[in-house]
Structures are given as structure tokens and as C-alpha cells.
Amino acid sequence: MITLPLTRRRFGQALGALTVAFSLTPPVCAATGAGLPGSLAGNRMLDAWLRINSDGTVTVCTGKVELGQGILTALEQIAADELDIAPERIKLISGDTAQTPDEGFTSGSQSIEYGGTALRYACAEARDILLKLAAKKLGTAYDKLTIADGTITAADGTITAQGGQKTTYWKLAAEVDLHREASAGVPPKPPEQHRLVGKSRPRIDIPAKVTGGAAYVQDIRLPGMLFGRISRPPSYRAELVSFDEERVRKLPGIAAVVRDGRFLGVVAQREEQAIAGRDEISRAATWRETPSLPPPDDIYAYLTSLPTEDHLISSKGGDAPPAAHLSLAAKHTRPYTAHASIGPSCAIAQFADGQLTIWTHSQGVFPLRRDLAKALDMDEVKIRCIHAQGSGCYGHNGADDVALDAALLARASNGRPVKVQWMRDDEFGWEPYGPAMSVELRASLDEAGMVIDWTHDVWTNTHTTRPQKDGCNLLAAWHLAQPKLPGKPEIIPQPAGGGDRNAIPLYDFPRQRVTHRFIPQMPIRVSALRALGAYANIFAIETFMDDLAKAAKTDSIEFRIRHLSDPRAIAVIKAAATYSGWQSDMPAGTGKGRGFGFAKYKNLSAYLAVVVDVEVDRQTGRVRVTRATAAIDAGQVINPNGLVNQTEGGIIQAVSWTLKEQVRFTSEHITSRDWSRYPIITFPEVPEIRVTVLDRPNERSLGAGEAAQGPTAAAIGNAIAHGTGIRLRDLPLMPDRLKGAFG
């Protein structure tokens, strides 16, 4: 790994002859018009974001939550810099419906852009208010004051014999009134005044995580706490024919057996007793099953045969296609993909005095609370959801669902708290997968080898069934005797997009048509998985671009740059090329291959380019990714080590998705119910990774956590094509078709 804090000068040196023009425009996060910047817009009171305490601490509140991405460490850096305090003074409260701003979901790589921006403006304004108060108190001019770690001093040597020319935030705490609307009128600090932002800072949560400290919701133990487990139906539409509850109640330690419609659960004194109770439920219940899953061998034909709502999301150029020198067409597919968290979803629920408290690793405590209120027929204000960390989720997994499970079991437990953790097969069998997708591309080249026409059609379900405004999107609610039905599947609009995320090419094509063929009907439960549709759309675009480059007899990278005008895109591509030692004349078909992939995530977040090296075994067709060399431009970087950590992780996860992963099912059952039926990458298969960060402190921060997924997939596909001459377009890129097929 190389991480260079590249200044303009050093960047130019590093790239040798490749000089790149950097924009030094000021940050664009200044308040404009009526709207306040970032998440301030929905949470306008300053004291919703921070409070100055007389004990020498600052309470900072954020609606964003830690998912293992390091957000809390980065938010502390931002707040401490704006306030001129040591970050150790910050007491962070995150994701609590009783205490923090409502920032919706922690998703979509938006926490720095929205949550960080809000905090930055709120802290800058609070600092200004404190300084004005200090100036008044000390009888000194505002601009003569300096701040060091919360101590405000007159800087002009006017300290009197009385020692009165000094005060602190903590002394002013009782008098300062932050219960006022933010104006966003105080500009945050320019990057050259940052002491913490832009420098790597160790994550605040890691020491506890490597020493057995209490770090997760799984680690919370409450007085009198019971343990619960759920026994789901054997398949989505199975109907409960009979259930002998007594068989379960007779087991040792059972405190409650809950049956509501086809929702079955058990509460016990001890965790292993709850697990035994769950096993007994599966023996004591009989179900009537009907095949309800789509044909596993022909899933894409099935999906594309379903009714669609078609949205032309980009249209450029004349009606009639231009005369082409050469045209290509290709179809790409991506299977249902599991979030596959290492730790199954977990929550604790407790009813006391008509109030429900939930400890949850949900990505959105406020939306979860709304759906819990619907499912439980409760008033929202009687529910408090408190975030506690869970295992990494990479999108919408079972985190919200298990909160309702815990609530339903706690409702039968006489005020005692109940901890519920899903078993491994619950997690694999019931989580909402990343949707299967089909992407068809057509393109034409002119005689000069330039793309003159481009068509992209993407067939997909929704990429979000998170708790939302209409319906109730919590699994157990659908199984109750009085079921609450899910909401209508939503389209996430462009420019971010959902299934059509990154479907509009960043390349400058004179004529293009991009159509989102949205399939409302969901034969298998799906929702948001890291990068949403961008993973498949970028895989398709970037592998197709390689085919076009080959047809145009042009180097892959050169071909892309010819079609790009965004200087930052070109810079990141050239950086990846330089650091990987890219050469346009590498021998093809040797079994060793090299491939390239690029995208600007969502077409509005981080730029990432990656070069991947693979080795393909001639006999088995097995593909091993040996190395990945990436360059990323995420604008202003808050915590470089955190950004690299996220990027390395994104690359490795994408290698796993791309080479190995696919949810298996029959017409009746999901059969990927444990790690043997859903293998993921293991240590011997992990490539060497190098990530270069192109820091641009004068540009606004760009969401980065999902930037690697699509480019990595495409680079692997391109490397296989380079090494074997065989183009694979169906994910995952399995060895069967490569076996003995080259060399």
C-alpha cells in the first residue's frame, strides 16, 4: 500500500510527465439560499448537534452511526478541528431517537458529505458564539482572541495583573445558549487551518474490539435479561398447519413461547436453552409449502419477462442512429448476492411503563422506530431506538428485522429485556439480498475508433426495501396474524439512482439512450447492498469499454481517456496506470492477465480506478487475483488511513463477490443457508493491495465507501479476458467456462 498526501507539486512529481490541473475553487458547501448545508437542513437547532459542558467536555450528537467504516472517528476530527479542542474532550452520542438529530440512514457513502458538513457548520457557529461571549466578558476585541483546546486567550499581550484575560469554554458553558437555529453564517475553517482533518487518526473503537471490550449490541447485558430465538417458516409463503406449543414449553428454562400467525419464537433463561427451543419449534410445527421461488436456472429470463416500468434516464443525440463503422452488443448478469455479515443480526428489547426501548445496530434508528410503531400498533413517541454497533452490514441486512423480533418476544416477557440474535441460517435465508440484474449494452464506433452511439438497458428490482413512509418493511410484521404489509417498492431517483446507479456513462458519447427497466415484482426478497446497481452497471460498462477498445485497436486506458473530459477522472485513471506500471503491449492469452476498471461512484461521489492482475489455472480454470492497484480521489480526505481501510476492504469484498458469490435456491427453498453453501473469499485467495489517495483538501469531501465495488469487478473481468481471450459476462465469473479453454 502506498498512501501519499499528494500536494499538487508532489503529485506532479509522482506522475512524472503526467501533469494534472487541479481546481482550487473554495469548498462548495457554503449555505445557499434557503437550505442549510448537509443534515443541518432537517435538524436546525445548534444544540441538537453539540453542547458545551462545564466539566471540560463537549457533547457531540450525530444521527450517523458506526458500521465499521470509522465514521465516528472522522466526525470527531471534524468537530475537534472546528472547535479548537482536543478530540479526547468529545463525548459522542450517535443514533439515539431520544438524543440525536434524525439523519435518516447511515448509507450510500453520505455520512461525511451530509453529517460531517452539518457538524462542521454547527461547530464553527458555536465557536463563534463562544468567542463573542468571551470578548464581552473579557472586554477584549473578538479578533484579538485565540483558542487552544477550549481555552480562550487575548493574543495581544493585554493580560492584566488580575489574570482576567483568559477564559475557557467550560467556564462559559453555563451562559452560552446554543438552543438557537443554525444560520450556517460562520464559514468553517479553510483546510490550511486543520490540525486533525486530513491526517490519519487511529480509530477510537479499535482498541476495545481487539481486547474483548464491550463494543457491540451483542455485548450488552441488562439486569434480568432473557434470550430469544425465532423459528421462521421453512420458505417465504409456507403456511402453518399445526404447532404443538407444549412440546416447546416443556424444555428446561423456557420463559415464553410466542405464536402470532406464522411468527414463532421462544424466550428462555439461557441462550442455549432458547436455541434448543428454536430447534424444538421446527419439530413441533408442520407447514404447508408451495413452490414460490423463481426458476433458479433461468432467473434472468424470468426476471426480464416480468412487467416493467421503463424510465429513459438519459437521452442524448439525434433520433436516428448514426452510420456505424462497427457495432457491438452484449448482455451481462449479476446474481442475488448476500450481505453475509459475520455476526448474525441482533437486538435487545424491553417494555417498561408502556415504553419500548430497543438497542439495535440498525442503519437508521428513526426510520426503524416508525416501522416498529406500525408493526406493534404503538405511538412512535413511546418507542426509543438506541444504536449499538453490530457486525458489518454493507447495506440493509437483518438489523431492522431483528429489532421487531426482539420487541415481539419482549412483549411476552413481563417487562424483562430480551436479547435476540439470529442464527446463521436465519441470516442467510431471510436477509434481503442484493438484487439479481440484467444489463444489455450496444455501442457503435466510427472509423476513427470513437464511440458514436451507446445504449444501456438495465432490468432490476428496487434496491431499497428499507423502512420507509408507506407500508411496514419489517419481516416479522408480514407473518403476524394481522399482518402489516410491505410498502410499495421504491425507485431511488437519479442522479444517485438505485438499480440504475452509474448506468449513465461518465464518458462523453455524442448519442446515448439509457433505460432503467424497473421490475416492481420481487420473487425473492431484496434491498440495498453496498453500491446498489452500480456494481453491475459499472461491471457491464467497463468490460464493454474494453471490448470496444479492442475493436478500435486501442489501449484500454487510452481509449477511456479519449472519451473523458473530467480532469479528475483522467487524473485518477493515470495515477492507477502509473502506480501499477501499466503497459499497453502486455502479452495476451498467457494465463496471466491484467485488467482495468474505473468509475466515479454515483457519477457524483469518489473517483476510483483500479488495475487488477489475475492468474488463471489452465486445467481447473480457477482464477486467482494476485494484485490490485487502485487510486482514489475522494476530495478532501478526513482520515486517510480510514479511507484506505475502506477502499482495501471494498476491493477485497468485490473480489469475493465477483469470483465466488451467488445465493443458491430451488423453486421451493433458499439453499445458501451457511458458509459452505455461500463461500466467500479466504486468506489464501486475498490479493496484494495497493491504494493511492489523491488528496484534494480544497475540494469538498466525496462519499468513498462504495467506490471500489464496480471498478474491481470490471477489472477482474478484463484481466481474465486479457489472460485467456475469453470474455465472461455473467457474475460470478466462475471457472467452468475457462477450464481448458485457452492456451
How many residues make contact with other proteins (CB under 8 A)?
63
Q: Which residue from 57, 117, 140, 391 is in contact with other proteins, where contact means CB under 8 A? A: 391
Question: Which positions ≥6 away from 298 have C-beta within 8 Å?
Answer: none
Report the residue number, 68 or 164, with the smaller CB distance to other proteins: 68
Q: Does 653 bind other proteins (CB under 8 A)?
A: yes
The piece of 233-241, 269-277, 325-333, 456-464 that touches other proteins (CB under 8 A) is 269-277
Q: Which is nearer to other proteins, 42 or 679 (CB)?
A: 679
Question: Residue 38 CB, nearest distance to other proteins (Å)?
Answer: 24
Q: At what angle do helices 709-724 and 640-660 cross, to 10 degrees?
A: 50
41 binds other proteins (CB under 8 A): no
Whether the Cβ atoms of residue 194 and residue 87 lie closer than 8 Å to each other? no
Contact segment (CB under 8 A) with other proteins among 198-206, 289-297, 410-418, 714-722 equals 198-206
Kindly indicate which of the ranges 14-22, 418-426, 439-447, 694-702 contains the residues binding other proteins, using the contact rule CB under 8 A: 418-426
213 binds other proteins (CB under 8 A): yes
Give the span between the Cα atoms of 509 and 679, in whole angstroms: 39
CA distance 203 to 208: 10
Q: How far is CA 445 from the centre of its chain?
A: 36
* Beta-strand pair 239-243/592-600: unpaired
CA 157 to chain centre: 51
| 581, β-bridge pairs | none
Question: Can residue 88 be called a binding residue for other proteins (CB under 8 A)?
Answer: no
In the complex with other proteins, the residue whose CB is nearer, 274 or 450, is 274
Q: How far is the CB of 206 from other proteins (least distance, A)?
A: 5
Distance CA 535, CA 519 (A): 18
**Site for other proteins contains 402 (CB under 8 A):** no
The answer for residues whose C-beta is within 8 angstroms of residue 683's C-beta and 6 or more apart is none
Please identify, among the stretches 113-121, 214-222, 233-241, 608-616, the one whose residues bind other proteins according to the rule CB under 8 A.
214-222
Stretch that binds other proteins, among 10-18, 40-48, 210-218, 452-460 (CB under 8 A): 210-218
Binding residue (CB under 8 A) for other proteins from 6, 60, 65, 67: 67
Contacts for 176 with CB less than 8 Å, ≥ 6 apart: 52, 126, 129, 130, 133, 169
Least separation in angstroms between CB 361 and other proteins? 10
* Exposure class string for 230-242: b at 16+ Cβ within 10 A, else e: bbbbebbebebee
- Residue 32 has what DSSP assignment? B
Task: Please identify which residue in 221, 283, 288, 488 interacts with other proteins, judged by CB under 8 A.
Answer: 221
676 touches other proteins by CB under 8 A: yes
Quote the Cα angle for 393-398-404, to 5°. Answer: 135
Asked if residue 337 binds other proteins (CB under 8 A), the reply is no
Give, in order, the Cα–Cα distances in Å from 235 to each of 288, 298, 414.
10, 20, 31
Smallest distance, Å, CB 657 to other proteins? 10
CB of 334 to other proteins, least distance (A): 19
Of 607, 569, 570, 579, which is closest to residue 707 (Cα–Cα)? 607
**Three-state secondary-structure class, residue 690:** strand
Tell me which of 149, 271, 668, 730 binds other proteins, using CB under 8 A: 271
Candidate ranges 115-123, 270-278, 470-478, 545-553; the one touching other proteins (CB under 8 A): 270-278
Closest distance to other proteins from the beta carbon of 200 (Å): 8
User: Could you check whether the bond before residue 493 is cis, i.e. omega within 30 degrees of 0?
Assistant: no
- Selected binder of other proteins within 324, 373, 680, 734 (CB under 8 A): 680
Widest Cα–Cα separation across the chain: 89
Residues 234 and 232: their CA atoms lie apart, in Å, by 6
Nearer residue to other proteins within complex by CB, 10 or 677: 677
Kindly tell me which residue out of 641, 658, 692, 718 binds other proteins, with binding defined by CB under 8 A. 641
Q: Does 392 bind other proteins (CB under 8 A)?
A: yes
Q: Tell me, residue by residue from 95 to 134, as one string, x for binding to other proteins by CB under 8 A and - for no binding.
A: ----------------------------------------
User: 727, 610 in Cβ contact below 8 A?
Assistant: no
Q: Report yes or no: 299 and 436 within 8 Å, Cβ to Cβ.
A: yes
Pick out residues in 423-462 that bind other proteins (CB under 8 A). Answer: 423-424
Q: How far is the CB of 468 from other proteins (least distance, A)?
A: 25
Beta strands of 411-477 (E only): which ranges? 418-421, 437-445, 451-460
Q: Is 739 exposed, middle or buried (0-12, 13-18, 19+ CB in 10 A)?
A: middle
In the bound state with other proteins, the residue whose beta carbon lies nearer, of 563 and 660, is 660
- Whichever of 409 and 522 has its CB closer to other proteins, that residue is 409
Rg (CA), the chain: 27
Residue 212 engages other proteins in binding (rule: CB under 8 A): yes
Closest CA to 22 of 187, 201, 191, 195: 191
Q: Is 688 in the site for other proteins (CB under 8 A)?
A: yes
Work out how close the CB of 393 gets to other proteins at its nearest, in angstroms, rounded to a whole number: 8
Kindly state the cell numbers that stand for 551. 475493436
Query: Measured at the alpha carbon of residue 642, what is the angle toward residues 636 and 646, in degrees to the nearest 5?
Result: 100
Neighbours of 65 (CB within 10 A): 27
Give dist(CA 470, CA 490) in Å, integer: 10
Instruction: Report the Cα–Cα distance between both ends of the chain, in Å, rounded.
Output: 33
Query: Should residue 279 be labelled a site residue for other proteins when binding is judged by CB under 8 A?
Result: no
Out of 17, 210, 320, 448, the residue judged to bind other proteins by CB under 8 A: 210
Q: Considering only the stretches 105-113, 295-303, 443-451, 643-651, report the one whose residues sit in contact with other proteins under the rule CB under 8 A.
A: 643-651
Phi first, then psi: give them for residue 515, nearest 5 degrees: -125, 125
Dist. CA 418–CA 406, nearest whole Å: 6
Does the protein bind other proteins through residue 202 (CB under 8 A)?
A: yes
Compose the 689-718 pattern: x for residues touching other proteins by CB under 8 A, - for all others. x-----------------------------
Shortest separation between residue 658's beta carbon and other proteins, angstroms: 12
Return the range that interacts with other proteins (CB under 8 A); candidates 48-56, 187-195, 264-272, 556-564.
Answer: 264-272
Report which residue type is found at 494: Q
As measured in angstroms, the least distance from the Cβ of 717 to other proteins is 19
Rounded to 5 degrees, what are φ and ψ at 126?
Answer: -65, -40
649 interacts with other proteins by CB under 8 A: yes
User: Would you tell me which residues interact with other proteins (CB under 8 A)?
Assistant: 1, 67-70, 202-203, 205-216, 218-219, 221, 227, 252, 270-272, 275, 340-344, 389-392, 394, 421, 423-424, 641-642, 645-646, 648-653, 656, 674-676, 680-684, 686, 688-689
